[in-house]
């Protein structure tokens, strides 16, 4: 069963490498992993979707010195979003069809030429998968997805506040990658 974990990590060089290396050597299968800055420049946030026992992953992640907080949010009501850019081959007949699909999926056309459109679609994984399936017969030239980012609903908060940039551990340079 797929589990979603959210992790707060120190924003230092090599941290993503440490997390990725951990998953490989412990034989955990990553479905998707996204990482980006938070409102606190000392802290980055990861959303990790895995097909494994999340308890093992959580305790293993905590062994990494740069990992501050990990939470399995699978069973907490949340908002999850994945974003895809899909370049579709079109002609005068199929262009209208793509525009219609975009309406249904609340997707946007962000680039248009005579032969191709780029569709930007945001939503949970299922929505993007069904959009992809409907566009496939028309002709997908290229696509890219960001992977899922997740935030729990309501007052439940995983806050990066209160952590300061600290020396040591590869410097003040902030770059989780």
| Secondary structure (3-state) at 91 | coil
Residues contacting other proteins: total by CB under 8 A: 29
C-alpha 32/C-alpha 28 separation (Å) is: 12
| Secondary structure (3-state) at 167 | coil
What is the contact mask toward other proteins in residues 37 to 76, using x (rule: CB under 8 A)?
A: ------------------xx--xx-xxxxxxxx-------
User: Do 72 and 54 form a contact (C-beta atoms < 8 A)?
Assistant: yes
158 binds other proteins (CB under 8 A): no
Among 17, 91, 100, 159, binds other proteins (CB under 8 A): 17
Q: Closest CB to other proteins among 68 and 131? A: 68
C-alpha 78/C-alpha 72 separation (Å) is: 11
Q: Closest CB to other proteins among 17 and 129? A: 17
19 binds other proteins (CB under 8 A): no
Closest approach, Cβ 176 to other proteins, in A, equals 13
Among 36, 41, 96, 169, binds other proteins (CB under 8 A): 169
SS3 of 20-65: HHHHHHCCCCEEEEEEEECCCCCEEEEEEEECCCHHHHHHHHHCCC
- Interface with other proteins by CB under 8 A: which residues? 9-10, 13-14, 17-18, 21, 25, 55-56, 59-60, 62-69, 163, 166-173
């Amino acid at each position: 069963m797929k589990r979603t974990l959210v992790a707060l990590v120190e924003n230092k060089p090599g941290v993503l490498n440490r997390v990725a290396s951990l998953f490989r050597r412990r034989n955990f299968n990553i479905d998707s992993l996204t990482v980006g800055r938070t409102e606190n420049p000392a802290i980055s946030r990861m959303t990790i979707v895995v097909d494994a026992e999340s308890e093992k992953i959580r305790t293993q992640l905590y062994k990494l010195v740069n990992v501050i907080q990990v939470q399995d949010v699978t069973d907490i009501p949340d908002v999850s979003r994945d974003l895809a850019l899909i370049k579709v081959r079109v002609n005068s007949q199929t262009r209208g069809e793509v525009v219609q699909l975009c309406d249904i999926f609340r997707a946007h056309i962000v680039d248009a030429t005579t032969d191709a459109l780029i569709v930007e679609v945001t939503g949970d994984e299922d929505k993007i998968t069904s959009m992809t399936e409907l566009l496939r017969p028309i002709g997908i030239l290229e696509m890219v997805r960001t992977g899922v980012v997740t935030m729990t609903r309501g007052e439940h908060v995983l806050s990066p506040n209160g952590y300061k940039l600290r020396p040591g551990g590869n410097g003040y340079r902030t770059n989780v990658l």
